[in-house]
A and B are shown apart, each in its own frame.
Chain A
Amino acid sequence: MAILLLAEHNNHSLSEETAKALTAAHLIGSDVDILVCGMKVQSIAENSAKLAGVRQVLIAEADYLAHQLAEPMAATIVELANNYDVIMAASTSIGKSVMPRVAAFLDLMQISDIIAVVTPDTFKRPIYAGNAIETVRANDYQKIITVRTASFAPTPQGNSAPIKTITPAPNPNLSSFVKEETNISDRPNLTSARVIVAGGRGFGSQEKFMELLIPLANKLGAAVGASRAAVDAGYAPNDWQIGQTGKIVAPKLYIAIGISGAIQHLAGIMDAQTIVAINKDEEAPIMHIADYALVGDLHHIIPELEKALL
């Protein structure tokens, strides 16, 4: 079964999401090609070629692919589609934008956000904010799939697949890039972090959120996340949001502080190995699903915790 996997990258480096999606791809079939779209992405292609079990890497470079806009990306993938039984991408903002466009061009239904491969044409995926898991079989002759990467371990390196340059489809000229604003952070990436500390409305202000949570995160080498309430209140930037409408994470340790644990938030953390909840409300929903629940005022507990970690 020939599979095309779209590489996830930010123009500087190959994201670990690609290696995780590759693990899902290998569960479906063995002939996996990785497609790298962008501009000046040779080193990203080289890193893709190192991933174990990759058959070949295709590289499509054009100035209009530099920002990975959906229309030229989809056009390029559609031109390659005849050679593949399955076309896949990680469920990232790029994968989510591009793949349904590809699916519609090919008259295929997409299977979004798979968390398990049951057989090469049957998959599990969460619905209703993760409160139900559906098993679906794809009846189309070709399949379009996006992968919830939190559910798969990354494929290790150990390969040197050939890299082939392909000509991208012409620019459909339906959109153009204006600007981007990146939230720069030297902390680990939320979606790949081993430890995450996340804060909610319980912090009361942006100052307290940053003043208390950041040093604790630094001490633990953790990524920082936030509940929707904290983001809406302006305590944290949008892309820190964890939950159904934010990021889905699966760290080894998740520490939720001042987060009540609404359904939408829990949807984003159910795959965490160990959940710690610190909350003054003993009855908060998150206290019932946490592996370790500590009742108390976060303003006192965080400094204490930091000291204890010395």
Chain B
Amino acid sequence: MKIIVAVKRVVDYNIKIRVKPDGTGVDLSHVKMSMNPFDEIAVEEAIRQKEVGKISEVVLVSIGSEAAQETLQVGLAMGADRAILVKTEEVLEPLAIAKTLKTIILEEKPTMVFLGKQAIDDESNQTGQMLAALLGWGQATFASHLNIEGHQAIITREVDGGTQTICLPLPVVMTTDLRLNEPRYTSLPNIIKAKKKPIEQKALADLCVDTRARLTVLNIEEPQSRQAGIKVANVAELVSALKKTSCI
């Protein structure tokens, strides 16, 4: 059994991004990039499943520029076996990403595909669900617990109001929530070892996937900033201020 994990290179989650003044985008030059935090959780889960002997191989896939190799290296250092980079300079929409992943999955024939529940840059929360639809597989979104039992996966999901547990026949697409696990740190020896692990490169153009954009971004702007507030000295002042604004 093999697990494919899709990983995305995004702006590090600690960075406060800056919108370009001309409204064309977000300034990503000289900004620290990292693996999308939800994808780290997906990689961690795949490796844990391998460690308990439920699966035999963990393959990472990333779609993006040459620089995405760094992200794949991180996953390899965490313990993944090999990686595939689908190279493109374009920024693809989730539908195009799902279609591209599908071609890799039909080739690799994994039993499960893990993705993060959303990327922290475009915040679409779509790719996993779209991929499951394109493959005709079942989907388990927002997973916080996974148990592979024979030919099925029993997955607990974070839903509004609590949790829901579902059972799916394999193969399955699963997207990870924060609660699934705590990703491990990569050690220096493992980082060095990872450099010897193979990263297969494919050109997006060779995969014959329809990746044309369906949405046009017209503008990107700063959100309306909140007006600076006032500092109140004590509880009495706070309560009277709130009463004045009829908040309470």
Contacts and interface: CB of A to CB of B under 8 A. Distances in A.
A302 to B, nearest CB: 9
A132 B141 contact: no
B141 A182 contact: no
B162 A291 contact: no
Contacts of B159: 93-94, 180, 239
A200 interface: no
Contacts of A178: 154, 165-167
A292 B247 CA distance: 12
B248 A180 contact: no
27 contacts: A69-B166, A100-B94, A100-B130, A101-B129, A101-B139, A103-B133, A109-B93, A109-B94, A109-B215, A126-B223, A132-B222, A134-B220, A135-B217, A135-B218, A135-B220, A140-B214, A174-B139, A175-B166, A178-B166, A191-B160, A195-B248, A245-B117, A253-B248, A292-B230, A293-B232, A296-B234, A305-B235
Most buried by A among B17, B121, B130, B233: B130
A10 B164 CA distance: 12
A166 interface: no
Most chain A C-beta atoms within 10 Å of own C-beta, residue among B138, B167, B229? B229
Interface in A263-277: 263-264, 270, 273-276
A244 B178 CA distance: 11
A289 B229 CA distance: 7
Interface of B: 11, 13-14, 16-17, 19, 26, 93-95, 98, 117-118, 120-134, 137-142, 144, 154, 157-169, 177-179, 213-223, 226-236, 238-239, 241-242, 245, 247-248
A133 interface: yes
Given A93-B160, A139-B215, A274-B242, A112 B223 contact: no
A137 interface: yes
Nearest to A253: B247
Contacts of A101: 129-130, 132-133, 139
Nearest to A144: B126
A270 B227 CA distance: 11
Interface string A80-108: 00000000000011101111111111011
Interface of A: 10, 67, 69-71, 74, 92-94, 96-105, 107-113, 122, 125-140, 174-183, 191, 195, 220, 228, 237-239, 244-245, 247, 252-253, 263-264, 270, 273-276, 287-296, 301, 304-305, 308-309
Contact of A112 (B124, B141, B177): B124
Contact of A110 (B126, B213, B226, B232): B126
A93 B162 contact: no
Contact of B16 (A263, A276, A309): A263
A181 B163 contact: yes
Given A69-B166, A134-B219, A128 B94 contact: no
Given A109-B94, A127-B121, A178-B154, A135 B247 contact: no
Q: Give me the 3 closest cross-chain CB pairs, A-B, nearest first.
A: A174-B138, A100-B129, A109-B214
A308 B214 contact: no
Contact of A175 (B121, B167, B214): B167
Given A174-B138, A238-B179, A292-B238, A133 B222 contact: yes
A71 B138 contact: yes
Contact of A308 (B161, B226, B239): B239
A173 B109 CA distance: 21
A292 B232 contact: yes
B123 A138 contact: no
Contacts of A295: 231
Given A132-B19, A239-B158, A104 B166 contact: no
Contacts of A135: 217-221
A299 B180 CA distance: 32
B235 A70 contact: no
Contacts of B220: 127, 132-135
A176 B125 contact: no
Contacts of B154: 178
Contacts of A71: 138-139
A132 B221 contact: yes
A291 B231 CA distance: 8
B120 A244 contact: yes
Given A275-B226, A294-B232, A100 B126 contact: yes
B13 A182 contact: no
B229 A239 contact: no
Given A134-B220, A309-B248, A180 B168 contact: no
A272 B31 CA distance: 30
B33 to A, nearest CB: 13
B11 A183 contact: no
A182 to B, nearest CB: 4
B11 A128 contact: yes
